[in-house]
Amino acid sequence: MRAILIGLYGDWLWLDGRIDAVSGEIEQISRTEENCVNVMTIPGIGPMISTAMVAAIGTGEAFRRGRDFDAWVGLVPRPYSTGGQTVLGRISKSGSRYLRMLFVQAAKVILMRANRWPDFSFGDWLIRELERMNRNKLAVALANNPIGTCLRHALPGSGWHAWPGAF
């Protein structure tokens, strides 16, 4: 039994080292790739999200607006229509599951740091929405709101640059 556990511990150490090495490579790519650098100007987006997003969509030319990107990722509520009234349901969860997970995790990180909310223009919105919806639903709304909206502005050729309190 001891030999098995020692072997598993060695495997764990090797995997831990491999994860650190790959994470370092991803961070290096995110610092040198222009699209990744532009995307990382959005609050809550770091090396992992920027490289995953650029790897998935390239320059983003396939999307005419941020809402198209949100729909592709699966962060847009599914509409239901009856009797001429449109009701928004749960998020569609279509598209890239990995990107959706990364965006929601980034939003949850922003939600965890309530002391930084006043630094962003959406801080007042977060305080209001937290009173009426639970944190998980708010995280999805936050992932949908600024990230999708800024997609086209953060990519090359848009002339957009982050400013203090942009989001």
Give the model confidence (pLDDT) of 138-164 as tens digits.
888 888 775 665 565 556 655 455 544
Given its phi and psi angles, is residue 42 left (phi above 0), alpha (psi -120 to 50 degrees) or beta? beta
Please tell me the least confidently modeled range out of 9-18, 35-44, 74-83, 147-156: 147-156
Domain ranges of the chain: 1-32, 34-154
Distance in angstroms (rounded) separating the CA atoms of residues 56 and 49:
10
Global pTM?
Answer: 0.74
Distance from the Cα of residue 39 to its chain's centroid: 10
State pLDDT tens for residues 113-134.
Answer: 878 777 777 778 888 888 898 8
Residue of higher predicted confidence among 35 and 79: 35
pLDDT at 73 over 90: no
Residue-averaged pLDDT of the chain: 80
Under DSSP, the state recorded for 72 is H
Share of the chain above pLDDT 70, in %: 84
Structure tokens that stand for 165 in this block: 């309190």
Amino acid at 77: P
Checking 74-83 for CB contacts under 8 A at 24+ apart, the result is: 74/100, 75/100, 75/103, 75/104, 75/140, 75/143, 75/144, 75/148, 76/144
